[in-house]
Amino acid sequence: MKKSRTDLGIAGILLFACAWMLLSGTSSATLQIQKKAKEAGIPADNCLYCHTEKLPKKDAVTHNARGQWLVSEKQKRNAKEVDPSWLKDYPGDKK
């Protein structure tokens, strides 16, 4: 009886650890922002449009010039999250 509880406990811990690694590693917000950008007519084909990584990790994100501009706009506008429609005002694309 005691062995089955131990096995169940270990299985539960392993399941929790696997779920934690899979769900917390990448940021799902970037996909939502990319979807909103496409809906706004902005050619954001992948994460490299604003990031320097193909798949940015939540705690290890680096932005290219466009992404840095969006982050500064977020701070200027005191917004809770980045609005991809701001990219229409991005000065780097108007060269």
> Which residue, 27, 35, 9, 58, is CA-closest to 49?
35
Residue 37 belongs to domain spanning: 27-94
Does 9 map to a domain?
no
Does 63 map to a domain?
yes
Q: DSSP assignment, residue 76?
A: H
Angle 74-68-56 (CA atoms, 0-180°, nearest 5)?
Answer: 100
pLDDT of residue 89: 92
Token look-up 């496409």 returns 38
Q: Domain total for the chain? A: 1
Q: Is the distance from CB of 30 to CB of 47 less than 8 angstroms?
A: yes
What does residue 63 show for φ and ψ, rounded to 5 degrees?
-110, 150
Does 21 map to a domain?
no
Query: 76 versus 14: which is more confidently predicted?
Result: 76
Query: What are the pLDDT digits (tens) for 22-77?
Result: 544 434 345 788 889 999 999 988 889 999 988 888 778 899 999 999 999 999 99
Query: What are the pLDDT digits (tens) for 17-29?
Result: 655 555 444 343 4
